[in-house]
Amino acid sequence: MWGGRFAAQPDDAMQAINASIDVDQRLWREDIEGSKAHADMLAAQGIITREDNAAIQGGLDQIAAEIAEGRFPFSAALEDIHLNIEARLTERIGEAGKRLHTARSRNDQVATDFKLWTMRASREAGDGLRVLQQALVKRADQHVDWIMPGFTHLQTAQPITLGHHLLAYVSMFERDRVRLVGGALEAAWECPLGAAALAGTGYKIDRDMTAHALGFHAPASNSLDAVGSRDFAMAALSSLAIAVTHLSRLAEEIVLWTSPQFGFAALSDAWSTGSSIMPQKRNPDAAELIRAKAARIGADFAALNAIVQKLPLAYAKDLQEDKALTFGAFDAFSLSLTAMIGMIETMRFNREPMRAAAARGYSTATDLADWLVRELGVPFREAHEITGRIVRRAEETGVAELAHLPLSEFQSVDSRISEAARALLTVENSVESRDSYGGTAPQRVREQIERWKEMFA
């Protein structure tokens, strides 16, 4: 394709380092779509004839069918998807095929193809997050008032409801979804096609026509930026990296919850693995692998960012590596998402162990302090101190739950504490009482479930 200038063939290793066809053949749909829009525009502007355009359109459709049916002869000698398709076109339709690359460069071509691909993948990832959100809301609905320990520092803090805990992830995934879809909208703003190699072209092209045909808002207003920038992919990868970090935290909780030590939940057989040596084992491999995929996606973002940050304008071949990183990150994300949806939809929660764990660790101590403030007008700091002394009494006398500590022990610390106060210190009362907006009380969680359902409808 550029052989005119050279007398000898490239070294085999030169071809190996240079060729990207194994990776970028995934851009074939976008490449054909972009070429069809470009050829239509060239014909509309009288730069190629209508006959040539008709031949190009027909040839590209046939190539699309060949690729879709796995009949296309991909060649590493032709470097990338752009040259492979163009060479095949000329093979099929002759002379007209050689006119397609008029007023275009692979630089604006690849920027356009890759942007289209990334926009689509981002929207699909956003749709996938929606499916996970729906699964989480459904499980939250089924467990809206199941009580579990809420943690800070992974130390039992206050009782919460399982419904509330699951909905926390629905909120995170909503922001992730908005970031991904918003990134796709931003990328759609400007179309690189027509920037040519870097400086634009002298042909009288109509960039609005191609931009609109490909679903962009407008043609890119600076040709150097159009061919040299990849921040649309960096933005997508950073959004994926954040989203998969949230997936990873949920995965981490699944690993903890399904351990015999916690015993809060069990994964279904379809989402568990066994051990080849220990027959009793039921392992959460998928959750663990999601944690590992999260590390890789974060690294994909870091690598792309590092590639771009040292490049002078405009295009340099370093940018070719953008696709392996981006495809890899989206693939890892989509598999992680599928696995998470499967685990969430089918896992079983264990009500008793969760409730029992919630009651341990004097988790309702704050409720006693709040009672002292509310009923006796004790300043909160003082109430905190009194309650602390009671917790110490419980610890010293070997009583695991405040609700089980005899009233006499409470009164030995503060004689004003009544049986009514002691009776409040159950985990059920505790969660019922936390009914501020966004709080863990079942009635508040029900409200949020309804809000999400309306949003998904």
Residue 18 CB, shortest distance to ligand ARG, in Å, is 9
Interface mask toward ligand ARG for 275-314; x: CB under 6 A: ----------------------------------------
Query: What is the residue type of 372?
Result: L
- Assess 223 for contact with ligand ARG (CB under 6 A): no
Per the listing, tokens 């009233």 go with 407
Q: CB nearer to ligand ARG: give 107 or 363.
A: 107
DSSP helix/strand/coil, 263:
coil
Cα distances (Å, whole numbers) of residue 443 to 224, 286, 433, 436: 56, 33, 10, 10
Residues present in the chain in total: 457
DSSP helix/strand/coil, 89:
helix
Q: Which stretch binds ligand ARG (CB under 6 A): 6-14, 53-61, 105-113, 161-169?
A: 105-113
| Whole-number CA gyration radius for the chain | 30
Q: CB nearer to ligand ARG: give 234 or 319.
A: 319
Which of 183, 175, 179 lies closest to 233, judged by CA?
A: 183
- 75 as an active site residue: the answer is no
Residue 325 CB, shortest distance to ligand ARG, in Å, is 12
Cα distances (Å, whole numbers) of residue 314 to 174, 203, 227, 305, 310: 36, 21, 6, 16, 11
DSSP helix/strand/coil, 457:
coil
Residue selected from 80, 86, 190, 367 as contacting ligand ARG according to rule CB under 6 A: 80
Residue selected from 53, 84, 107, 156 as contacting ligand ARG according to rule CB under 6 A: 107
Dump the DSSP string for 347-401.
-EE-HHHHHHHHHSSSTTHHHHHHHHHHHH---HHHHHHHHHHHHHHHHHTT-S-
Rounded to 5 degrees, what are φ and ψ at 407? -60, -35
Residue 194 CB, shortest distance to ligand ARG, in Å, is 16
Chain mean position to CA 291: 13
Per the listing, tokens 């042909």 go with 203
# residues contacting ligand ARG (CB under 6 A): 10
The DSSP call for residue 134 is: H
Q: Which stretch binds ligand ARG (CB under 6 A): 132-140, 317-325, 368-376, 401-409?
A: 317-325
Q: Which stretch binds ligand ARG (CB under 6 A): 118-126, 205-213, 241-249, 316-324?
A: 316-324
Instruction: State the catalytic residue, choosing from 75, 275, 404, 412.
Output: 275
First and final C-alpha spacing in the chain:
52
- Assess 35 for contact with ligand ARG (CB under 6 A): no
Residue 307 CB, shortest distance to ligand ARG, in Å, is 11
Q: CB nearer to ligand ARG: give 107 or 210.
A: 107
Specify whether the CB–CB gap between 393 and 412 falls below 8 A. Answer: yes
Residue 318 CB, shortest distance to ligand ARG, in Å, is 9
Q: CB nearer to ligand ARG: give 114 or 146.
A: 114
Residue 193 CB, shortest distance to ligand ARG, in Å, is 13
- 212 as an active site residue: the answer is no
Residue selected from 210, 320, 326, 426 as contacting ligand ARG according to rule CB under 6 A: 320
* Sequence-separated contacts (24+) of 271-276 with Cβ below 8 Å: 271/339, 271/342, 271/343, 271/346, 271/347
Residue selected from 42, 93, 110, 247 as contacting ligand ARG according to rule CB under 6 A: 110
Residue selected from 38, 88, 99, 106 as contacting ligand ARG according to rule CB under 6 A: 106
Residue selected from 121, 319, 383, 394 as contacting ligand ARG according to rule CB under 6 A: 319
Rounded to 5 degrees, what are φ and ψ at 190? -125, 135
Residue selected from 20, 238, 364, 366 as contacting ligand ARG according to rule CB under 6 A: 20
Kindly list the residues in this chain that would bind ligand ARG in the complex (CB under 6 A): 20, 24, 80, 106-107, 110, 315, 317, 319-320
Q: Which residues are designated catalytic? A: 153, 275
